[in-house]
Structure 1
């Protein structure tokens, strides 16, 4: 009868490179999951802010902007700028890319929050094709 030497399992033969590689891949995957959740959380915080919501509401009500961009008007990318809140005060200086069937534009919003109330010093749309600036505040600042 022949003596058979039991062969080691695949893992027993390869553990020296499988364990470090598996550990590194796990760390990389966890990093990207964490990074994605941070970006998603910040994005949700910014798009849920009053300046963002109020600017988009004004854009969708402005007949001249609708005439130029068409309907429906929707966001077209990631908001940029600075948005900060602390208790009942805050500051916004943001730009929001928007688009409609007829073209693209950016909405710019600058304002401050005092006693839980936002006051906007600037809120306007710049049309991409013509660089035309359309004031969304109208007579509110007068």
Structure 2
């Protein structure tokens, strides 16, 4: 009675297992890297003053709270850009938000001069109705009226 020695699984399949394992490792590392970059950029944007000011304004607006429902919180990945240089900067961002009743997009555009942010646009567009709600409202109109006098 003779016994035959069987090769291990790896010895029989190393020709395709090694390249496939290497490719999968590279893909997994790339996905981890991409995820960390997206998380890092998102973290920087959510710590920015324009982001915080916009979310605060949205939570203070009674009409927005009536339509979206309280509390208003972010609902996905932000888009746009924020740049800083010394005490100056600019922001042009969109923030997906949601309340207990509906979802919307919050848009913020502004500049920072001498350490102070001034917003030219801050509005919400409701997803279901496309209604636009200006969060600067009367503040912007008051400053425009003062310039006219």
- TM-score under structure 2 normalisation? 0.80
Relative to its length, the structure with more helix (as a share) is: 2
Residue matched to 2:71: 72
RMSD: 2.2
Farther-moved stretch of structure 1 (118-127 vs 12-21):
12-21
SS of the equivalent of 2:137 reads coil
Structure 2 portions without partners, runs of 5+: 144-149
Residue matched to 1:128: 127
Residue matched to 1:85: 84
Counterparts of 1:68 and 1:115, CA distance in 2: 36
Counterparts of 2:14 and 2:106, CA distance in 1: 56
What is the CA distance between 1:55 and its match in structure 2? Answer: 0.1
Residue matched to 1:56: 55
Residue matched to 1:23: 22
Number of positions where the alignment pairs a residue of Structure 1 with one of Structure 2: 141
Counterparts of 1:46 and 1:76, CA distance in 2: 14
SS of the equivalent of 1:140 reads helix
What is the CA distance between 1:33 and its match in structure 2? Answer: 0.9
In the superposition, relative to structure 1, how do residues 71 and 15 fare at CA in structure 2: closer, same or farther (>3 Å)? same
In the superposition, relative to structure 1, how do residues 134 and 5 fare at CA in structure 2: closer, same or farther (>3 Å)? closer
- TM-score under structure 1 normalisation? 0.84
What is the CA distance between 1:52 and its match in structure 2? Answer: 0.9
Farther-moved stretch of structure 1 (129-138 vs 46-55):
129-138
In the superposition, relative to structure 1, how do residues 88 and 11 fare at CA in structure 2: closer, same or farther (>3 Å)? same
SS of the equivalent of 1:72 reads coil
What is the CA distance between 1:129 and its match in structure 2? Answer: 3.6
Structure 1: which 4+ aligned runs deviate by more than 4 Å? Answer: 4-8
What is the CA distance between 1:8 and its match in structure 2? Answer: 4.3
